[in-house]
Amino acid sequence: MKKCYFIILFIFLSVSVSSSQTIDYTQGLSIWFDTPNGLDNRAIWLRASGLGNNPDKAWENSSLPIGNGSLGANILGSISAERITLNEKTLWKGGPNTAKGAGYYWNVNKQSANILKDIRQAFLDGNKEKAARLTQENFNGLAEYEERDETPFRFGSFTTMGELYIETGLSEINMKNYHRILSLDSAMAVVQFDKDGTEYQRKYFISYPDSVMVMKFTANKKGKQNLVLSYCPNSEAESYLSADGNNGLGYTGVLNNNKMKFAFRIKALHKGGILKTENSRIIVKDADEVVFLLTADTDYKINFNPDFNDPQTYVGKDPEQTTLAMMNNALEKGYDKLIRNHKTDYTALFNRVQLQINPEAGTPDLPTYKRLDNYRKGVPDYQLEQLYYQFGRYLLIASSRPGNMPANLQGLWHNNLDGPWRVDYHNNINIQMNYWPACSANLSECTWPLIDFIRSLVKPGEKTAQSYFNARGWTASISANIFGFTAPLSSKSMEWNLNPIVGPWLATHIWEYYDYTRDKRFLSEIGYELIKSSAQFTVDHLWHKPDGTYTAAPSTSPEHGPVDEGVTFAHAVVREILLDAIQASKVLGVDRKERRQWENILAKLVPYRIGRYGQLLEWSTDIDDPKDEHRHVNHLFGLHPGHTISPLTTPELAKAAKVVLEHRGDGGTGWSMGWKLNQWARLQDGNHAYKLYNNLLSNGTLDNLWDSHAPFQIDGNFGGTAGITEMLLQSHTGTIQLLPALPDAWTNGSISGICAKGNYEISILWKKGRLEKACILSKSGGPCTLRYKDSTLTLKTVKGRKYEIALDGNQLTLISTLII
C-alpha cells in the first residue's frame, strides 16, 4: 500500500558530545550573530526597567534565551567575561507570606455586589455618568500594582535570580570568526571564535528531564581554559554563598519582601589543569575542557486549595535539598548522557512540525540581524519567516513544560529586579496569546502549566466572584501572580481594571485542550468542573434586563473606551464559554438541566450588531470612531480566538469584522499585530494576513527575534506562530480547512505535523499556490470533513489510520489509506 507521507528537507544537526569544533551551528534552524556583546555594566540588571524601555539593550536585543520551563538563562556571548542572566520562574515577590500575613494579602476584594442594582438602574435611567462613577468607586480592588505605593507589596513581581560571570582572560584583540548561535534544532546556545590561532567554543543547554543547566567550555588546543566564575546576586535578597566541595559553589537566598527561599548550585568538572574554589569563585587554570553544571529552585509550591489563613500556603520543599538531588543526578549521569537526554526530550517535541516556504529561494548566509534588516527594507526572506515560526515553538517548549507555572509576559526570561507590568500574568489577552499555538502547532503538553495555573485560581476566584457579583463559580481579573491573585487592582481606570470576564476566557482554553486532544478522561476528571464553574459565574454575573435580554453590565472593552452596559467583547466570551460548557456536558452526558439554562441564556444574549460604518459594534451604542487605531481589537473575539464569527457561518458579521480591522490599521505593538494577523487569517484573506506578518517581523521584532511591545514581550512571538498555522489550517468551524489563507507570495511549500480539532494531525503540500496533497492522521477516529476552497470531502476515519488527499480537478479526493 502506498505510504501516506511526504518528506520535507530540513537539516537537523546532531548534537556533538565531544569537544569537536567542526559542526557549523549557523546552518539549519538557527538565530546567530557575528559580533560579540560588550560588558559595559556587569550589574546593569540591578536597575528596574521602565514600561517603555529596558536599559540593558544588549540583553533585550541580542541575548540568546534557553530554558526548560522552570530554569531560564540568557547567553550574552562576551569574550572577556561571559555574562549569563538567570531566572527561576517561581521566584516572585508578594503573596501571603509578606510581613502583614495572609489576612492582609487576601483582603483585596471589595464587597461591591450590592452596588450592581444601582449601576444597572443608572443605565436604565440613561445616566451613564452615574453608572461609570459607581463602577469606578466600587469595582476596583484594594491592592496596589506598584511596589512604591504599598508596604509590604502584596501583588509582587517576578524577579531575577542574578547573573553569572565567567572571566576568560581573553580579549577581542586578534579575534575572528565570531559566532553566537541559538540552534533551534538542538535547543542549544553556542559561542565560538578564533583567537591567536586557537578555536574556542562554549555550549549551553538546559535539560528538562534532568533539571540542570550545562555549560561546556572547550578549545581545539590543550590547556587553553583559564576561567573564573563568580556570581552577582539579587540585591533584594539576603544571600549566603559558600563553597560546595573543592569544585563547586552553593548559594541560598531569601527575598526580603516575602521570605521566599531560593537556591542554586554550581559544580565544575575539568580535564587537565587545576581547579579550586576561592573567595566565592570557581577558578580554573590551564584546563583542556571545563563543564559547569547548575541547578536552581525555589521553595514555592502551587496550591489548588490554598488555606487563606496560612501565610505559608504556597511554601513547599527546601530548595537546598531539591537542588542537591538534581545536582547529584546530573553528576552521576555526566555530560554525554545529559546532552543525549536533553536532545531526545526536546526533539521529540520540536521535530513534530516542519515548515518550508518557497524552498527554492534558498537561505541567505547572513547573521539573523542582517537578514532582519534586509527584510525591513523589503528584501524577501521566506526562510526567515519559517525560522520565526519555529522560534515561537522553541520558546514555548523552553518556557512552558509540565510541573511549573505558565509562560509569563516575558516567557521566563527577565533581567531586572522588577520589570514591565511586573512581568506578570496578564489575563486580558497576553497569557491567552502565549498558548494560541500550543495545540495547533503540536505542543499540547506545553498547555499543562496553563491548565494548572487556571486550577490554582479557582478557590481565590470564587471569593472574587462572590464579592463583586454575588455569583457562583469563579473568575479572575486583568493581572494575576503565582499566589492566586484574582481581584481587580486599586486603580479607578476602569478601561483596563474592570474585566471580570477574563476568568471565562481562561476557561475556554480548557475546552480547547480537550477539543484538540479528545482526552475524555481529562475532561471528566479535571476539565469539566473548571468549565462548568466558569459558566455558572457567567450566568450569575449577567444582567437580566427588563426586556428579557441578557447583557454584561457593567463591562468595558479591555484597555479601551468607557464603562458600558454590555460590550461586544464580554458577550463574545460569554457565547464561547457557554457553548463550551454545553458541548462538554454533552460529551460527558451530564447536567442536562443546567445545559438547558445555558442554551436559554445564549438565545437571549444581546446579539452582535453592525454600526453605521458597517463595522461590528464595540460597545452597546454606535460610538465607534473609524479613525481610531487602538491596539486592542477585543470586540473581534468572536472571530478569533473564538469561533462565533466566520466567513463560512456568519458572512455578514465577518464582513463587519473586516471593516473594524481596516479602521484599526495594520500597525500597533508586536502582540497587537500578532492578533490582527490571526484575525485576517480567520477572514481567509491570506495576502492581508501576510502583510501583518511582514509588519510584525519588520516593526515588532528585535534582532534576536524576540517580540517587542516595546519593550520585549513574548506574546507577539506566540501570536505570530499561531497566525502562520491559521493561514495554513483552520478547524474552528467544525470542518478542517486546508490552506484557508495562503498568501500569493508563498507559491510553493509544505508543512507537516500541525493539528486540527478532533485530534487530527495534518501534513500539507502545495505548489504554484494550489493544494497538491494532504495527509490526515486520525488519532481518535470519527467523522472528518475536509474543505479546500469550495470543495468538501467527508471521511469516516478510524483511529490510527492515515488518509492521503489530493485534488481531482477542483474536487478533494481520497487517494489512499494507510494503517499505522
* Cα–Cα distance measured from residue 209 to residue 640, given in angstroms and rounded to the nearest whole number: 35
Q: Is the dihedral of CA 460, 466, 469, 471 positive or negative?
A: positive
How much is the pLDDT for 38?
76
Q: Average the pLDDT over 674-700 and give the result.
A: 98
Q: Which is higher by pLDDT, 363 or 62?
A: 62
Q: What's the structural domain count of the chain?
A: 3
Q: Which is higher by pLDDT, 425 or 1?
A: 425
Say whether both 281 and 298 belong to one domain. Answer: yes
How much is the pLDDT for 6?
40
Any domain includes 364 = no
Sheet of strand 237-243: strand arrangement = 30-33, 175-183, 188-195, 198-207, 212-219, 289-298, 261-271, 248-255, 237-243
Count, residues in the chain: 820
How much is the pLDDT for 21?
52
Q: What percent of the chain has pLDDT over 90?
A: 92
Cell of 390: 519555529
Q: Average the pLDDT over 137-149 and give the result.
A: 97
Any domain includes 295 = yes
According to DSSP, the residues that pair with 776 across neighbouring strands are 762, 803
C-beta of residue 49 within 8 angstroms of C-beta of residue 416: yes
**Residue 409 pLDDT exceeds 70:** yes
How much is the pLDDT for 820?
78
How much is the pLDDT for 56?
87
Say whether both 528 and 651 belong to one domain. Answer: yes
Say whether both 661 and 787 belong to one domain. Answer: no
**Residue 7 pLDDT exceeds 90:** no
Say whether both 677 and 762 belong to one domain. Answer: no
Any domain includes 385 = yes
- Does residue 653 sit in helix, strand or coil? helix
Whole-prediction pTM:
0.96
Domain boundary among 726, 761, 777: 726
Q: Average the pLDDT over 375-384 and give the result.
A: 97
List Cα–Cα distances, 143 to 106, 490, 555, in angstroms. 9, 5, 21
- Say which CATH number the domain at 612 has: 1.50.10.10
Query: CB-hemisphere CA count at 13 Å for 692?
Result: 33
Which helix (H) or strand (E) is 711 found in, with range? none
Q: Is the dihedral of CA 600, 605, 608, 611 positive or negative?
A: positive
Any domain includes 97 = no
Say whether both 129 and 271 belong to one domain. Answer: no
Residues 69-124 pLDDT 10s: 999 999 999 999 999 999 999 999 999 999 999 999 999 999 999 999 999 999 99
47-61, 255-269, 375-389, 635-649: least confidently modelled range:
47-61
List Cα–Cα distances, 698 to 34, 181, 371, 675, in angstroms. 21, 21, 11, 16
Centre a 10 Å sphere on the Cβ of residue 278 and count the other Cβ atoms it contains.
9
How much is the pLDDT for 43?
43
Say whether both 395 and 426 belong to one domain. Answer: yes
How much is the pLDDT for 55?
75
Cell of 320: 537546598
Nearest partner of 472 among 532, 556, 554, judged by Cα: 532
* Cα–Cα distance measured from residue 702 to residue 712, given in angstroms and rounded to the nearest whole number: 8
Any domain includes 18 = no
Q: Could you tell me where the DSSP H helices lie in 24-178?
A: 57-62, 101-106, 116-124, 128-138
Which helix (H) or strand (E) is 396 found in, with range? helix 382-399
Chain centre distance of CA 769? 31
Mean pLDDT, the chain, whole residue set: 94
According to DSSP, the residues that pair with 446 across neighbouring strands are none
Tell me which amino acid residue 410 is.
Q
Say whether both 526 and 647 belong to one domain. Answer: yes
Any domain includes 663 = yes
Say whether both 84 and 124 belong to one domain. Answer: no
Q: How confident is the model at residue 53 (pLDDT cuts 50, 70, 90)?
A: low
Q: Which domain holds residue 768?
A: 749-819
Any domain includes 741 = no
Domain boundary among 351, 366, 395: 351
Centre a 10 Å sphere on the Cβ of residue 610 and count the other Cβ atoms it contains.
16
Residue-wise over 242-273: b if at least 16 C-beta within 10 A, else e?
ebbeebbbbbbbbbebbbbbbbbbbbbbbebb
**Residue 423 pLDDT exceeds 70:** yes
Say whether both 461 and 336 belong to one domain. Answer: no
Say whether both 137 and 266 belong to one domain. Answer: no
Say whether both 150 and 199 belong to one domain. Answer: no
**Residue 52 pLDDT exceeds 60:** no
How much is the pLDDT for 206?
98
Say whether both 165 and 270 belong to one domain. Answer: yes
Residues 304-340 pLDDT 10s: 999 999 999 999 999 999 999 999 999 999 999 999 9
List Cα–Cα distances, 652 to 68, 328, 625, in angstroms. 45, 63, 20
C-beta of residue 176 within 8 angstroms of C-beta of residue 192: no
Residues 228-282 pLDDT 10s: 999 999 999 999 998 888 899 999 999 999 999 999 999 999 999 999 999 999 9
Q: Could you tell me where the DSSP H helices lie in 351-488?
A: 368-376, 382-399, 430-434, 436-440, 448-469
Q: First-to-last CA distance in the chain?
A: 11
- Say which CATH number the domain at 272 has: 2.70.98.50
Any domain includes 4 = no
Q: What percent of the chain has pLDDT over 70?
A: 95
Which DSSP state fits 36? -
Nearest partner of 486 among 154, 28, 762, judged by Cα: 154
55-59, 278-282, 514-518: least confidently modelled range:
55-59
